[in-house]
Amino acid sequence: MLYLVPTPIGNLEDMTFRAIRVLKEADVILAEDTRTSAPLLKHFGIEKKVFAHHQHNEHKAISEIIRFLKEGQTIALISDAGTPAISDPGFLLVREAIKEGLEVQCLPGATAFVPALVNSGLPNDRFCFEGFLPVKKGRQTRMKFLAEEKRTMIFYESPHRILKTIDEFIQVFGAERQASISRELSKLYEENVRGTLIDLKLHFENNPIKGEFVFCVGGLE
């Protein structure tokens, strides 16, 4: 069995009882970064063999992981925070496990874009998750494609690019497009900023830019 186990995006109280049990019972834990996962596992008293599984080694590691699964081992995959395979490693392994007829289960749990969408105040009956936009090649093409999108759009962005992205969105969607930015979700300094894109620009030009960002942009009305 391959389990995909969500981990807290900040607040450790968001870890589920089931997630803790699965990690304790697993034969092997795969972690995006073993240094990041170590404090989490220690906090919940989970003592297991942990191996790195990230974007730089996942192609090479898949065949060996599949072999372990075929031998009857239970493997749990975690990312640094949130649900594996959502803008994190995991998709390739899941796809290969399914091809090989192996059982895969993803536990419900923490992920950043759901609370950001729900508390944005933007329509959430229909939405599209875009994750991280391309940094260079294809970035402008993707933005132009989304200019006519009518659903609420959800993006992930890093602190050092957030102001640039706001400026680009103003050019593509217009300064008065409604949007919301959430950062440090579930943590002590959680912040949700709502308003037009120009409102968001003014806010982050005059306030500290720290943490990971979820950017929700209203669709074309």
Q: How many other C-beta atoms lie within 10 A of the C-beta of residue 214?
A: 23
Is 80 exceeded by the pLDDT of residue 192?
Answer: yes
Distance from C-alpha of 132 to C-alpha of 149, rounded to nearest angstrom: 17
* pLDDT tens digits, one per residue of 128-165: 999 999 998 999 999 999 999 999 999 999 999 999 99
Phi, psi of 32 (to 5 degrees): -60, -40
Identify any residues that bridge with 2 across adjacent strands, giving them in sequence order: 75, 104
Cα→Cα distances 31→2, 7, 78, 124, 139, Å:
13, 11, 5, 31, 29
Residue type, 85: A
Contact yes or no for 139/212 (Cβ under 8 A): no
DSSP state of 9: S
Cα→Cα distances 4→18, 40, 51, 99, 188, Å:
12, 16, 15, 17, 27
pTM, 2 dp: 0.92
Confidence category of residue 176, pLDDT binned at 50, 70, 90: very high
Distance from C-alpha of 145 to C-alpha of 139, rounded to nearest angstrom: 10
User: What pLDDT score does 208 carry?
Assistant: 86
Q: Which of 104, 113, 34 is nearest to 66 (CA)?
A: 104
User: What pLDDT score does 57 carry?
Assistant: 80
Contact yes or no for 179/200 (Cβ under 8 A): yes
Confidence category of residue 58, pLDDT binned at 50, 70, 90: confident
Q: Which residues fall within 8 angstroms of residue 62, CB to CB, at 6 or more apart?
A: 92, 93, 96
User: What pLDDT score does 221 carry?
Assistant: 86
* pLDDT tens digits, one per residue of 35-57: 999 999 999 999 998 999 987 78
Q: How far from each other are the two terminal CA atoms of the chain, in whole angstroms? A: 45
